[in-house]
Amino acid sequence: MRTVGDRSVRKKLIDSSDSQLSIRRQCLLLGVNRNRLKPPAGKATITDLQVMRHLDELHLNFPTFGTRGLRRLLKRGYGLCVGRNRLRRLMRLARIAATYPRPRTSTPGKGHRIYPYLLRGMKITRPNQVWSSDITYIPMPTGFCYLAAVMDWHSRRVLGWAVSSTMETNLCLRAFRSAVKAAGCCPQIMNTDQGSQFTSDAWIKEIKDHGIKISMDGKGRWVDNVVVERLWWSLKYEDIYLRSYATPREVAQGASEWFMKYNTRRPHSSLGDRTPDEVFGKRIGQVA
């Protein structure tokens, strides 16, 4: 099989998170020597993974705690003595940050523009008026991955999602494109945090190309995107922590089944005891 294009370009097309094609198969199709691929980033040690798993759970229950508070909880609850510098490193890796107001929260990319929060005081009365997107850390026994989701603010319906072993802009773009395909249209406003993935040129261009207004949470204002934060809490305690998925592929399958149940069978008191699908007004098959 003859391939064209610069080898370095073809190497960039390799997607380690692809659930359909293995790395070996992708290399064969693209004419790339698997042994010459850039080696993966160093994996966290088992001890670090254990600490990150506990940190993730503690953060969901004590979202305002910083390194001092989490350090005390780790020692009291799990007998782990962890230095604050190490905690800071692991919290960054797990995308965990205390939710009290402070100078910086999610870190935007250097030179990237921050957009204002547009939802304060706005009445959200219909589906596809506002969508929200966020990324969360998913612990596994011998590693971790990231999950990005896009939710309709009014109906709470999860419209699209994606799983990856790296926290890059492409993860967010895959989730967004999945949401557009599922909904059959675009929202009036897209709300996110100020993370580098959502302030990147690629993300901003994609959103603007669809004619969508951009809204970003205020610094230290996790409550500005609270509907997605509540989604993560439910997903992790009702599925992720109970099943302990071993690979990103298993996480993707489990998330697919849970989101289907969440959209079609889970009533919300804030929605008049209706399901997200019923409020959204369009029953769709499996998302993503």
> Per the domain annotation, does 1 fall within a domain?
no
> Per the domain annotation, does 163 fall within a domain?
yes
Furthest-apart CA atoms within the chain: distance in Å: 61
> Per the domain annotation, does 122 fall within a domain?
no
Q: Do residues 208 and 180 both lie within one domain?
A: yes
Dihedral of CA atoms 182, 187, 189, 195 in degrees, nearest 10, equals: 20
> Per the domain annotation, does 254 fall within a domain?
yes
Higher-confidence residue of 80 and 217: namely 80
pLDDT tens for 69-119 read: 899 999 988 888 898 899 999 988 888 887 654 433 345 555 568 899 898
Q: Comparing C-alpha atoms, which of 18, 35, 26, 20 is closest to residue 1?
A: 26
Q: Do residues 139 and 276 both lie within one domain?
A: yes
Q: Residue 11 class from Cβ within 10 Å (0-12 exposed, 13-18 middle, 19+ buried)?
A: middle
In this predicted structure, what is the pLDDT of residue 36? 66
In this predicted structure, what is the pLDDT of residue 97? 80
In this predicted structure, what is the pLDDT of residue 13? 79
Q: Which helix (H) or strand (E) holds 51?
A: helix 46-61
Q: What is the mean pLDDT of residues 226-235?
A: 86
> Per the domain annotation, does 98 fall within a domain?
no
Q: Do residues 265 and 161 both lie within one domain?
A: yes
In this predicted structure, what is the pLDDT of residue 250? 94
> Per the domain annotation, does 30 fall within a domain?
yes
Q: Do residues 238 and 135 both lie within one domain?
A: yes
Q: Do residues 153 and 268 both lie within one domain?
A: yes
Q: What percent of the chain has pLDDT over 70?
A: 85
* Total tally of structural domains belonging to the chain: 3
- Detail the DSSP E strand segments found in 108-242: 130-140, 143-152, 158-164, 189-192, 213-216
pLDDT tens for 23-45 read: 888 888 888 877 767 655 556 67
In this predicted structure, what is the pLDDT of residue 282? 54
Q: Do residues 158 and 180 both lie within one domain?
A: yes
Q: Do residues 79 and 160 both lie within one domain?
A: no
| 168 token code pair | 């890059």
Among 70-84, 93-107, 187-201, 240-254, whose mean pLDDT is lowest?
93-107
C-alpha to C-alpha distance for 149 and 167, rounded to whole angstroms: 13
> Per the domain annotation, does 165 fall within a domain?
yes
CATH label of the domain that carries residue 149: 3.30.420.10
| 75 token code pair | 């020692």
Full domain range(s) for residue 78: 46-93
Higher-confidence residue of 251 and 227: namely 251
Of the ranges 65-69, 166-170, 211-215, the best mean pLDDT one = 211-215
Indicate the pTM of the whole model.
0.72
Q: What is the mean pLDDT of residues 181-208?
A: 93
Give the chain's length: 288
Q: Do residues 146 and 55 both lie within one domain?
A: no
C-alpha to C-alpha distance for 57 and 96, rounded to whole angstroms: 10
**Is the pLDDT confidence value at 225 over 70?**
no
C-alpha to C-alpha distance for 136 and 198, rounded to whole angstroms: 14
Among 12-21, 93-102, 193-202, whose mean pLDDT is lowest?
93-102
In this predicted structure, what is the pLDDT of residue 285? 41
Q: Do residues 245 and 155 both lie within one domain?
A: yes
Q: What pLDDT band is residue 163 in, cutting at 50, 70 and 90? A: very high
Q: Do residues 151 and 179 both lie within one domain?
A: yes
Contact yes or no for 165/189 (Cβ under 8 A):
no
Higher-confidence residue of 10 and 188: namely 188
Q: What is the mean pLDDT of residues 4-20?
A: 72
> Per the domain annotation, does 125 fall within a domain?
no
Q: Do residues 192 and 64 both lie within one domain?
A: no
Q: Do residues 261 and 146 both lie within one domain?
A: yes
Give 280-285 contacts, CB < 8 A, sequence gap 24+: 280/127, 280/152, 280/155, 280/157, 281/127, 281/155, 282/183, 282/184, 284/182
